[in-house]
Structure 1
Amino acid sequence: MLKHALPAILVAASALAQAANPITSKIYTADPAALVDNGRVYLYVGHDEAAAGGKDYLMNEWRVFSSCDMQNWTEHPNPVPYTVFKWAGRDAWASDIARRNGKYYLYTTVDHKTIPGKAIGVAVSNSPAGPFVDARGSALVTNDMTHETPIAWDDIDPAVFIDDDGQAYLYWGNTVMKYAKLKPNMIELDGAIHTVGLEAFTEASYLHKHAGKYYLSYSRKFPEETVYMTGPSATGPWSFGGVIMEQNSNVKTIHQAIVDFNGKSYIFYHNGKLPGGGEFRRSVAVEELHYGPDGKILPVAQTAQGPAANPSPACK
């Protein structure tokens, strides 16, 4: 999930000339979501704005970056503030992104103004770089729709997955993972909300598919480590696979997103390795991800250099 000021305002879509982890050192970033579109990878991150010594998350917007080679990142000029949702009171926590029918749907975590607790909203754009607007005018999921835990933050960290048959699914939760089908319009639930018992589940559920197998990754325990399970369908049943990434040294959260880009696989995550970084001043980074011959995801180490350059000839 869940203001380090810029020294100068970034020029619209200016290249950051960044060829190492984290993907930007200009601001603190967290909770990555990623989308590959037209040969370019787009990255959506929460903006950690807590002051040095801050004791809580201060997150008012999501920032959008993109890359053609997984090393050099461009910041786009349309941040997405939580105020895009008039019904939201605060907080730009974790998000995820999907493309359907030429539109881009950003699923986000915010605090609801009138219904106590965290909620999930959907913003939409005609471009992966925005600008985004509220797709519904109301929350997709609110805290009063789920009753598995007494906490106010159990409806966070949305993740969206569109299966090969066109069926879209939304996964989310803290302490208990939940999922539901989405209607083809991508802004309404289609049927019941289901809960899934996962060992030591904390948050950050994320589904991807590789070589015909479904991989459900999530943050386990607290402080968190990234683990994964595998299954024969988008709804399981799930079998434990292993640990992908060990917990951070000075940040209790980690939050992953996994994509395939230009013939390789990558995992995004956050840590607290920027100068002045820590629990509420995190930094998004990326590594190459590898599968063994049996389909197991191999453990991934955090590095300062990040992945090798992988220029995409299809990048637009």
Structure 2
Amino acid sequence: MRLPDMPLHDPFVVADEQTRTYYLYTSNEPSVSGVEGVGTMVYRSRDLREWTRPVVVFRAGEQEGIWAADGGWAPEVHERAGRYYLFTTLHDENSPLPVPPPGRWGTPFALPNHLRGTVTAVSDSLLGPFTVVDPARPTPPAHLMTLDGTLYVDPAGQPWMVYAHEWLQTVDGTMEAIRLAPDLTATIGDPVFLFRGSDAFWLTEQIPAGVPHQLAPYVTDGPQLYRTPDGALLMLWSTYEKNTAGADGTVSGGYVQTYAVSRSGALTGPWEQRRPLVRDDSGHGMLFRAFDGRLMMILHRPFENARGKLYEVGFEGDELRVLRQCTDLDGDG
């Protein structure tokens, strides 16, 4: 299989040095995997060009006592102490969360909220099967409507889950983090605020004329942390330009891949927002190092019927630059 033929939303690559194999995780697509149900599937490749048909490594419906069986968004896998940890976002529309009162943020609307959050599952293999650690609840606090949890381990060795707090609950979406136990099976303490979606200064340049700044929703999606060569901390994240919100909670506007930098190198920032790296309805990217040493970014485009797009990227100080799109791999001329 080639990337143009592979349904691929919220892609995440593990470059496994031991087997010299790339593992590309995404939400299960039954028409491709042949397995029904919400979950995670993985493609494999030795060269980023030719990929195996995917195999399913996690199925929400097979988890005994699981709190939700919908979603299966944004899977990613991390190795820790010889085991592999899957983070993926589930939701349950039949479990409502308290709705914030209209006007709390100066807005005239309050949208329905329901239980949504990232679960943690573990396996002894990159090919699973992955078993949820705590089937009774998501990993971030359950009263918060969250998504897209990712792992970050700070210089002191403390693991964190960094996640997006949904604009549906906050209107101005945020990035937050919470400490994890060493084995990633439990949280420690309270969430820590990192930044707001509206902190991206260039977004206010894109609000349609006549729409007050405080009425526009600001989406935060897809965090991923990466240490820059000069010791700063970079966070890839995605949002929408020219945001408008419908009565059903949908957001319209162009999906974009952007990033922020903590010059201090600390997760707590302060975070400086940078202009988007890729537009054209692209986003939810992540960085990985190819076996030939190139730093690569993979993201999906377009948002609907998404396919994976690969870019070679590099740093100039703490600035991330797109060097070229790898159209020889992703087929997007």
Which interval holds the TM-score relative to the shorter structure?
0.7 to 0.9
1:28 — aligned with what? 7
Post-superposition CA distance 1:130-172 (Å, at most 9, x none): 11111223223367432xxxxxxx4111111223432111111
Instruction: Indicate the larger mover: 34-43 or 254-263.
Output: 34-43
**Alpha-carbon distance in 1 for matches of 2:44, 2:74:** 18
**Alpha-carbon distance in 2 for matches of 1:284, 1:82:** 24
Post-superposition CA distance 1:213-256 (Å, at most 9, x none): 211111133422111111112332212233221132xxxx6211
Q: Judging changes above 3 Å, is the alpha-carbon distance between structure 1 residues 59 and 78 closer, same or farther for their aligned structure 2 residues?
A: closer
1:179 — aligned with what? 177
**Alpha-carbon distance in 2 for matches of 1:128, 1:234:** 28
Q: Check the 8 A contact 1:224/1:247 in 2, yes or no.
A: yes
More strand by share: 2
Cα offset for 1:307? 7.5
Amino acid at match of 2:298: F
Larger Rg: 2
Q: Check the 8 A contact 1:229/1:239 in 2, yes or no.
A: yes
Cα offset for 1:64? 0.7
More helix by share: 2
1:81 — aligned with what? 59
Q: Judging changes above 3 Å, is the alpha-carbon distance between structure 1 residues 162 and 65 closer, same or farther for their aligned structure 2 residues?
A: farther
Cα offset for 1:184? 0.2
Q: Judging changes above 3 Å, is the alpha-carbon distance between structure 1 residues 213 and 299 closer, same or farther for their aligned structure 2 residues?
A: same
TM-score (norm 1): 0.74
Q: Check the 8 A contact 1:181/1:189 in 2, yes or no.
A: yes
**Alpha-carbon distance in 2 for matches of 1:70, 1:163:** 29
Amino acid at match of 2:322: P
Q: Check the 8 A contact 2:39/2:56 in 1, yes or no.
A: no
2:267 — aligned with what? 234
**Alpha-carbon distance in 2 for matches of 1:84, 1:196:** 35
Q: Check the 8 A contact 1:87/1:113 in 2, yes or no.
A: no
Give unmatched runs, 5+ long, in structure 2.
Answer: 97-114, 167-172, 201-218, 241-252
2:223 — aligned with what? 205
Q: In structure 1, the residue corresponding to 2:320 is in which secondary structure?
A: coil
Amino acid at match of 2:290: F
2:120 — aligned with what? 122
**Alpha-carbon distance in 1 for matches of 2:154, 2:304:** 34
Post-superposition CA distance 1:194-229 (Å, at most 9, x none): 222232552111111131221111113342211111
Amino acid at match of 2:187: L
**Alpha-carbon distance in 1 for matches of 2:191, 2:289:** 29
Q: Check the 8 A contact 1:95/1:107 in 2, yes or no.
A: yes
1:218 to 237, 241, 264: 237
Cα offset for 1:41? 2.6
2:284 to 255, 267, 285: 255
Amino acid at match of 2:226: H
Q: Judging changes above 3 Å, is the alpha-carbon distance between structure 1 residues 280 and 47 closer, same or farther for their aligned structure 2 residues?
A: farther
Q: In structure 2, the residue corresponding to 1:256 is in which secondary structure?
A: strand
Q: Judging changes above 3 Å, is the alpha-carbon distance between structure 1 residues 295 and 177 closer, same or farther for their aligned structure 2 residues?
A: closer
Aligned pairs for 1:15-54 within 5 A: 16=1, 18=2, 21-22=3-4, 25=5, 27-37=6-16, 38=18, 39-47=20-28
Cα offset for 1:80? 1.9
Cα offset for 1:266? 0.9
**Alpha-carbon distance in 2 for matches of 1:81, 1:184:** 25
1:62 to 37, 40, 45: 40
Give unmatched runs, 5+ long, in structure 1.
Answer: 1-15, 51-57, 147-153, 273-278, 309-316
2:146 to 140, 147, 155: 155
**Alpha-carbon distance in 2 for matches of 1:132, 1:144:** 21
Q: Check the 8 A contact 2:194/2:269 in 1, yes or no.
A: no
**Alpha-carbon distance in 2 for matches of 1:35, 1:234:** 23
Q: Check the 8 A contact 1:76/1:129 in 2, yes or no.
A: no
2:92 is the alignment partner of 1:112: yes
Cα offset for 1:88? 1.6
**Alpha-carbon distance in 2 for matches of 1:110, 1:61:** 9
Q: In structure 2, the residue corresponding to 1:30 is in which secondary structure?
A: coil
Moved over 4 A (4+): 300-303
**Alpha-carbon distance in 2 for matches of 1:45, 1:214:** 25
Q: Check the 8 A contact 1:59/1:93 in 2, yes or no.
A: no
Query: Identity over aligned residues, as a percent?
Result: 21
Q: Judging changes above 3 Å, is the alpha-carbon distance between structure 1 residues 236 and 142 closer, same or farther for their aligned structure 2 residues?
A: closer
**Alpha-carbon distance in 1 for matches of 2:194, 2:153:** 19
